[in-house]
Structure 1
Amino acid sequence: MGDGTLPPEVERGAVRRITVVGEDVLGRRCRPVTQEHFGTPELDRLIDDMFATNHVAHGAAIAANQVDVDLQLFVYDMEDDWGERHVGHICNPVLDEEPLATRRLVEELEGCLSVPGPYKPVARADHAIVRGQDRHGAPLVVEGRGYFARCLQHETDHLYGRLYLDRLGKRERRDALREMAELRDGVVARRAAMAERLGKG
């Protein structure tokens, strides 16, 4: 964490199991968050749990289907390229598509909590805007550049059933899955140890 402080959501939340590539919930479009969800204790608890789960996994962000919940929601807690910390959540995010003529793609290494271990180069736009709603249903716009823009695109992809693996060529995807098979147990053990240290094991 950049400034070392834990968001209150992490303090309140419980750690949930993180889904792994191949599970059905990761491969389909999630259901929208609707009026029946907004402003409820259940949605608040889910957001808290997602923050806690993301924290123990040393993630930048996590989507609801990564904790096996079929809803269009992600949370984030990360530093961008300039050291600014971004903490928040968004429901029903829709990515603004910039015109191809003005879009600047940057290829950088990308990983995923649901693909534990490997990092592979993925081309993403260096600027992103997502529009959605907050936990109460109020309109919300989140804008990011650099690494934060990459994060917003990666998480929005999740909610449409896409992993970063789906943006790789066949050979790169095969290599990533092989590396995951080798590294997964160690990654999962480190997450469990972190949860124990926080008293959330």
Structure 2
Amino acid sequence: MNPCLLCMKPISEIASWQSFFGLEKKKTLCDDCSKRFVRADIKEDGYVLDSVHSLYEYDDAMRDWLHQYKFLQDLALAQVFAKELWQSFSSKDIIVPIPMHPERARLRTFSHVETLLNEAKRPYIQLLKKTTTGVMGEKSKQERLDMENLFELIPSAAVQPITYRLVDDIYTTGTTLRQAAAVLKRAGAARVEAVTLIRSIQK
């Protein structure tokens, strides 16, 4: 039996013909750990950022997962929400991950958003680059709202008058996504939507 990626207890699975032929994706979490995550499915419409869909609430379980994944660099945890992320897109979607600053990427050794998309088997394109090394999670709500010029187009980017779908791990004030959307809109995007794994409401 496979161990749960969070608690490491063995995962009990019921045998089926799909699993016998290798067609059923193996579970990554035990039932107890799976039940800890609360689905939110929050959808909002806006102006610069035309819409955003956040899949899960930011509670204690998600906080623990995010810390272990991003900061303890437990890349295997990207598998946990691969199915849910895969289901959030269609094969026609043009997906643009929110980038890390190159210096931050070097220190962390991996891009957490790109790794999530890779596990979800959803292809993406790079259009943006981060212009600041500031960490959003270390800033207050007002500091986030006051931030400017977080992104710019990469030199080789060719933005078309179509719909792009930004992807980030967590939505708090929306500053990151709105600024990324603004860059794409100025470059000619017709519409910019977003999907985030987590929705955090910062007071």
Q: TM-score, normalised by structure 1?
A: 0.25
Structure number having the greater strand percentage: 1
Larger Rg: 2
Normalization by structure 2: what TM-score? Answer: 0.25
